[in-house]
């Protein structure tokens, strides 16, 4: 086990306690290979599952697994933009919603930024439960540092997934806090606590994952 992994596990144990004190249901696993079992254990067999765009979920193979073993609402099946938007609306009433997160603060809160708002919308209300998977590289000491990570680091990296868009960071790689119609920084959400208790379940991973 590497020193980084040891450190992540120690910090993760502290963070799990903080998250649980704030109403979340949190756990930490050592490797991304452990994520699939942890996620599937949390999803009842009859649940309808949907998800938000997440590099972390893709890296862990979560989406393919749920496609195989659960009924899903899958926006990737859409044949048009209008159909995709309608499927994304339907996803807000699924049983289990899966997502990553842009940042987590050590006091036990989540910070997320969205372009369309479907991901943060589901996190706030709609699905019966939300499962968040996050590498420990997403963790920062406090809210200000978490917001800085979400806006200044994660957003420009995520913009690289959309080469058709054109805004400040797509040109320079540095957040310009632009007002472009192509901006993916439109909806900001600070999830300070989980209410109702246990609705948001967080799986921390002692690895560097996602953006």
pLDDT digits (tens, 9 = 90+) for 93-148: 999 999 999 999 999 999 999 988 999 999 999 999 999 999 999 999 999 999 99
Q: Please report, rounded to a whole number, the percentage of residues in the chain having pLDDT higher than 90.
A: 82
The pLDDT value recorded for residue 118 is 94
Rounded Cα distance, 25 and 185, in Å: 28
pLDDT digits (tens, 9 = 90+) for 175-205: 878 888 888 889 999 999 999 999 999 999 9
The structure tokens 């420990």 sit at 136
Whose CA is closest to 43, among 20, 72, 14? 72
3-state secondary structure of 112: strand
Distance from C-alpha of 63 to C-alpha of 75, rounded to nearest angstrom: 12
Q: How far apart are CA 22 and CA 109, in angstroms?
A: 8
Read off the pLDDT of each residue in 9-34 and give the average, rounded to a whole number: 97
Non-local CB neighbours of 201 within 8 Å, separated by 6+ positions = 24, 25, 26, 42, 129, 130, 131, 132
Q: What is the pLDDT of residues 16-25, one digit of tens each?
A: 999 999 999 9
The model's pTM:
0.94
User: Angle 57-59-60 (CA atoms, 0-180°, nearest 5)?
Assistant: 65
The dihedrals phi and psi of 117, each to the nearest 5 degrees, come to: 95, 0
Number of Cβ atoms within 10 Å of the Cβ of 100: 26
């Amino acid at each position: 086990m590497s020193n980084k992994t040891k450190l992540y596990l120690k910090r993760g144990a502290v963070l799990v306690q903080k998250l649980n004190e704030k109403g979340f249901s949190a756990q930490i696993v050592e490797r991304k290979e452990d994520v699939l079992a942890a996620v599937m254990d949390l999803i009842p067999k009859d649940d309808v599952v949907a998800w938000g765009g997440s590099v972390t979920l893709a890296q862990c193979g979560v989406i393919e697994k749920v496609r195989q073993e659960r009924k899903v609402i899958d926006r990737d099946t859409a044949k048009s933009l209008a159909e995709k938007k309608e499927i994304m609306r339907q996803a807000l009433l699924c049983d289990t919603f899966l997502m990553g997160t842009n940042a987590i603060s050590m006091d036990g809160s989540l910070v997320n930024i969205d372009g369309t708002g479907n991901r943060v919308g589901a996190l706030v209300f709609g699905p019966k439960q939300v499962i968040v998977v996050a590498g420990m590289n997403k963790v920062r000491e406090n809210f200000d540092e978490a917001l800085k990570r979400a806006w200044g680091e994660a957003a420009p990296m995520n913009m690289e997934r959309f080469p058709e868009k054109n805004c400040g960071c797509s040109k320079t790689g540095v957040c310009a806090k632009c007002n472009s119609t192509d901006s993916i920084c439109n909806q900001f959400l600070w999830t300070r606590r989980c209410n109702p208790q246990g609705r948001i379940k967080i799986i921390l991973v002692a690895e560097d994952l996602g953006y």
